[in-house]
Amino acid sequence: MSENKIPYKIYLSEDEMPMAWYNLRADMQNKPAPLLNPGTGQPMTAQELEGVFCTELVRQELDNDTAYFQIPAEIRDFYKMYRPSPLVRAYCLEQKLGTPAKIYYKFEGNNTSGSHKLNSAIAQAYYAKLQGLQGVTTETGAGQWGTALSMACGYLGLDCRVFMVKCSYEQKPFRREVMRVYGSSVTPSPSESTQVGRKILSQFPGTTGSLGCAISEAVETAVANPGYRYVLGSVLNQVLLHQSIIGLEAKTALDKYGVKPDIIIGCAGGGSNLGGLIAPFMGQKLRGEADYRIIAVEPESCPSFTRGKYAYDFCDTGMVCPLAKMYTLGSSFMPAADHAGGLRFHGMSSVLSQLYADGYMEARAVKQTDVFEAAEEFARVEGILPAPESSHAIRAAIDEAVKCREAGEAKTILFGLTGTGYFDLVAYERFHNGEMKNFSPSDEDIAKSLAQLPAVPNALA
Amino acid sequence: MSENKIPYKIYLSEDEMPMAWYNLRADMQNKPAPLLNPGTGQPMTAQELEGVFCTELVRQELDNDTAYFQIPAEIRDFYKMYRPSPLVRAYCLEQKLGTPAKIYYKFEGNNTSGSHKLNSAIAQAYYAKLQGLQGVTTETGAGQWGTALSMACGYLGLDCRVFMVKCSYEQKPFRREVMRVYGSSVTPSPSESTQVGRKILSQFPGTTGSLGCAISEAVETAVANPGYRYVLGSVLNQVLLHQSIIGLEAKTALDKYGVKPDIIIGCAGGGSNLGGLIAPFMGQKLRGEADYRIIAVEPESCPSFTRGKYAYDFCDTGMVCPLAKMYTLGSSFMPAADHAGGLRFHGMSSVLSQLYADGYMEARAVKQTDVFEAAEEFARVEGILPAPESSHAIRAAIDEAVKCREAGEAKTILFGLTGTGYFDLVAYERFHNGEMKNFSPSDEDIAKSLAQLPAVPNALA
């Protein structure tokens, strides 16, 4: 098919939706480092992990060799509510920029949870249900993951207990209400319902909570209740596996029109979207079948790739979870309060960290106001109000397209538009009113939190 | 194609998107009554209307004979951002209800403005731009129309001045911010910027505004500024014309799979969605080519079809606009303060009013809490958080599907899902907390506002 015939939106048919998730680890020569037990310093065993996570999900987490995992029919049926998601040719943005570049974006915001998080939420909820569990627990900060998990559990009739960081619970009542529409119980964290919550409340009576504390409460609740397990929306290998559907669909759609991207761009917080989008392309690159420039875009205020250290660290600020080897700013690192949206995790997926360490991808950090400027420019011509997270990728895509204009090069750019910004309008308002600031942590601040990295056996570090 | 092959979502290709809007009036034997000049009692002339509306839109407004209006290429390009919109087979809802009925819905919420209003907003903005105008003015209550118009004007680089009912401006800051993202100026109404606004503010210093007042301010601003015209998101014939794309796409998609609906259901406020959805089906019915049950669903708190009078009335509470013949509760009628969402207009499209008077469609009024119950049931299985307006149609669709279950009949139901409920979570919260009330106006209240209907020449009444 000629390139002239490419529509604004490429919708695959349901039959073209991938039958299996792709496990990028299978094609990695240097496998991601294993999770370590913080007590023993030894790799976490399946048995240890199964106290917290569902059995099948533990299998997926630990399997570095199987390239494809069949997507169960029930999950495929759920996916059909909103998948295949559209791959959009950004004709209007290209025209606005006056660039010869061809820009495509894979839009994952076309479901009520408003983001790609639903791809893994339904998978994790499904395996919990299959195992005969009664429910799952999780934490949520900004609320994207909690909403996605609520939708998945509402659909399957699974109990869902969300610990929502208290300040977010109070400031984002709408996020909370969407979760309640789907039948979840939403508890502001720290709460009186867990030991760790009561302890923190007694130590810091006026605290508005933190993600680290909410994780601890969710894990404690899962472990304390026999029919429950804990689930997580990013960072983990299993999450990247489920999210591979983003990249698989994008690649199928591009292949259909004979298009090969030169540059692939994704925003990066814990890595769920970026890892999913790039999966099949990175697979080709690892196997030497094709080459792509792959760019991770992170906030200047939380620059784990660009200014972090590749080392073993805790996944949570509460230091109760296993250790993961990753690019990290230190588990006590807190992004500036003025930072809007997600992408505020101190570390990064172990898979992506290893690939970055091995030189398979680039990373860049961008300023918050530059991100919102790109978001608004995009919204006006492409008609989608992007989430602040997604807008990091938009920023980099626009920058690359402008470079193409200056160099007169017609490169093909693919980026991930992970979600919508309906619940982020307070941040947009601050941007409009000129109240939004940029923040770059000082070298001293980063050094201070990195000084607290845990000690691990030399052989593993 | 066999019915077994029907996917969850039917996406037409861009080539299958209609090339022309369908003007239902061309097939009506009894044409809708003309707009009257409230001063003279005579039909409004094109010249009179052109002081307020764009020339091409006036032509569309007055033309009761031309069956098809070509959609300009520029509008078609804009439509491709979000159209063809999906026609969804509600497999999950059918299963949940245990009904043999086959349920389809046309989903118009898959754009950032979150509703079908964008279909007419882009058309009206386009003709304003084509006429060389500098900008448009409008009013918005809940904010759906103002958001849609802002998106359209942002895309075309047209100035957009929105008068937003003050209480809504203050209570829905996010709606306001979305409009600002798209570059609109949003003024709380009543304001100091118009004569009528200043007059109302001096008479009622603490007022939080009304739609009627915002309309008056928008009209005054359009008339007072040479390069401006006023635009409106519902009620008018031109709006129904543009919205016919909903029904045309739905019919094309159903025809492709050999499906003929038995029952077509839409929510009804001013009639923009209902008129658009039913257009081609009603056309067949009027021409005697096919029969369908067509059901308008309105709120019990604003029951213009089911309890109003078919008569000439003002379109606005300020009584400055032309008179329209329609089912009306009287222009001074105000729905109960507890009523959530839109569908609060006191009258109804003249086209739909005439069709209802002639027995071509049914109408029913539903209770608010029943509507939110249906909304939540739908959201949990179909994965879309519906707008309260759209949920009126969901309520009726579920009721019809349950009747099918009881009667063992496998009828095919089509309904319009006009938009998403992201900005209506205060109402969802009230529903969850058991604070939502139902309200049915008393006969006395309706009689009181109907007593103020304007006098018109006998020949026209």
Distance of residue A213 Cα from the nearest chain B Cα, in angstroms: 26
Say whether pLDDT at B247 is over 50.
yes
Sheet bearing A185-189, strands edge to edge: A185-189, A159-165, A135-140, A228-230
| Alpha carbon distance B204, B199 (integer Å) | 9
Of B383, B384, B432, nearest to A180 by CB-CB distance is B432
Distance of alpha carbon B389 from the chain centroid: 9
Measured between CA atoms, the residue of chain A closest to residue B181 is A376
pTM, whole model, 2 decimals?
0.92
Please check whether residue B4 touches A, CB under 8 A.
Answer: no
- Better pLDDT: A152 or A212: A152
- Residues A343-352 have pLDDT tens digits of 888 899 999 9
Please check whether residue A111 touches B, CB under 8 A.
Answer: yes
Q: Which residues of A touch B186 (CB under 8 A)?
A: none
The number of C-alpha atoms within 13 Å of B377 and in the hemisphere containing its C-beta is: 20
Give the alpha-carbon dihedral of B277, B278, B283, B287, to 10 degrees. 160
Please check whether residue A376 touches B, CB under 8 A.
Answer: yes
Mean pLDDT of chain A: 93
Q: Do B112 and A11 touch (CB under 8 A)?
A: no
| Alpha carbon distance A209, A248 (integer Å) | 38
Contact residues for B73 (Cβ-Cβ < 8 A; gap 6+) = none
Please check whether residue B323 touches A, CB under 8 A.
Answer: no
Please check whether residue A92 touches B, CB under 8 A.
Answer: yes
Q: Do A11 and B11 touch (CB under 8 A)?
A: yes
**A window 401-420, beta carbon within 8 A of B:** 420
Say whether pLDDT at A213 is over 90.
no
Length of chain B counted residue by residue: 461
Please check whether residue B182 touches A, CB under 8 A.
Answer: yes
| CB neighbours of residue A141 within 10 Å | 22
Q: Which residues of A touch B253 (CB under 8 A)?
A: none
Residue from A4, A6, A8 whose CB has the most chain B CBs within 10 Å, to mutate: A8
Q: Which residues of B touch A380 (CB under 8 A)?
A: 154-155, 181-183
Distance of residue A271 Cα from the nearest chain B Cα, in angstroms: 25
Say whether pLDDT at A21 is over 90.
yes
Distance of residue A205 Cα from the nearest chain B Cα, in angstroms: 28
Please check whether residue A177 touches B, CB under 8 A.
Answer: yes
> In a 3-state reduction of DSSP, which class is residue B424?
coil
pLDDT grade, residue A331 (50/70/90)?
confident
The arithmetic mean of pLDDT across residues B44-52, rounded, is 94
pLDDT for the residue B459: 57
Distance of residue A181 Cα from the nearest chain B Cα, in angstroms: 6
pLDDT for the residue B1: 39
Distance of residue A53 Cα from the nearest chain B Cα, in angstroms: 25
The arithmetic mean of pLDDT across residues B86-106, rounded, is 97
Return left, alpha or beta for B414; rule: phi > 0 is left, psi -120 to 50 is alpha, else beta. beta
Say whether pLDDT at B318 is over 70.
no
H or E element, residue A294: strand A293-299
Residue B386 per-residue DSSP state: B
Q: Do A422 and B425 touch (CB under 8 A)?
A: no
Of B8, B381, B428, nearest to A155 by CB-CB distance is B381
Rg of chain B over all Cα atoms, to the nearest angstrom: 21
Please check whether residue A379 touches B, CB under 8 A.
Answer: yes
Say whether pLDDT at A319 is over 80.
no
Instruction: Calculate what percentage of chain A has a pLDDT beyond 70.
Output: 98
Beta bridge partners of B104: B89, B414
The arithmetic mean of pLDDT across residues A223-250, rounded, is 96
pLDDT grade, residue A312 (50/70/90)?
very high
Q: Are B268 and B44 in contact (CB under 8 A)?
A: no
H or E element, residue B350: helix B350-357
Please check whether residue B8 touches A, CB under 8 A.
Answer: yes
Least confident of A32-41, A206-215, B126-135: A206-215
pLDDT grade, residue A2 (50/70/90)?
very low
Q: Do A422 and B174 touch (CB under 8 A)?
A: yes
Say whether pLDDT at B3 is over 70.
no
Distance of residue A407 Cα from the nearest chain B Cα, in angstroms: 27
pLDDT grade, residue A4 (50/70/90)?
low
**B window 231-260, beta carbon within 8 A of A:** none
Distance of residue B46 Cα from the nearest chain A Cα, in angstroms: 33
| Alpha carbon distance A30, A358 (integer Å) | 8
Distance of residue B151 Cα from the nearest chain A Cα, in angstroms: 7
- Better pLDDT: B5 or B23: B23
Compute the count of residue pairs across chains A and B with CB atoms less than 8 Å apart. Answer: 110
Beta bridge partners of B70: B20
Distance of residue B125 Cα from the nearest chain A Cα, in angstroms: 14
- Residues A58-76 have pLDDT tens digits of 999 999 999 999 999 999 9
Please check whether residue B180 touches A, CB under 8 A.
Answer: yes
Residue from B75, B80, B115 whose CB has the most chain A CBs within 10 Å, to mutate: B80
Q: Do B154 and A423 touch (CB under 8 A)?
A: no
pLDDT for the residue B401: 98
Please check whether residue A14 touches B, CB under 8 A.
Answer: yes
pLDDT for the residue A458: 62
Residue B416 per-residue DSSP state: E
- Better pLDDT: B4 or A379: A379
Q: Which residues of B177-213 are buried (b: 16+ CB within 10 A; e: fewer)?
A: bbbbbbbbebbbbbbeebebbeebbeeeeeeebbbbb
Q: Do B154 and A379 touch (CB under 8 A)?
A: yes
pLDDT for the residue A1: 40
**A window 133-162, beta carbon within 8 A of B:** 151, 154-155
Of B14, B112, B382, nearest to A379 by CB-CB distance is B112
The arithmetic mean of pLDDT across residues B84-88, rounded, is 95
Say whether pLDDT at B70 is over 90.
yes
For residue A351, the one-letter residue type is: V
Q: Do B385 and A429 touch (CB under 8 A)?
A: no
Say whether pLDDT at A294 is over 60.
yes
Say whether pLDDT at A384 is over 50.
yes
The arithmetic mean of pLDDT across residues B105-126, rounded, is 95
The arithmetic mean of pLDDT across residues B73-84, rounded, is 94
Q: Six-digit token pair at A378?
A: 């995009």
Q: Which residues of A touch B14 (CB under 8 A)?
A: 7-9
Residue from B112, B118, B172, B382 whose CB has the most chain A CBs within 10 Å, to mutate: B112
| Alpha carbon distance B54, A157 (integer Å) | 53
Please check whether residue B376 touches A, CB under 8 A.
Answer: yes
Distance of residue B291 Cα from the nearest chain A Cα, in angstroms: 31
Measured between CA atoms, the residue of chain A closest to residue B6 is A14
Q: DSSP assignment of A424-435, as one string?
A: -HHHHHHHHTT-
Of B380, B384, B428, nearest to A154 by CB-CB distance is B380
Of A180, A383, A423, nearest to B112 by CB-CB distance is A383
Please check whether residue A380 touches B, CB under 8 A.
Answer: yes
- Residues B387-435 have pLDDT tens digits of 999 999 999 999 999 999 999 999 999 999 999 998 888 889 999 999 9
Peptide bond into B190 cis (omega under 30): yes
Distance of residue A158 Cα from the nearest chain B Cα, in angstroms: 12
Beta bridge partners of B362: B295
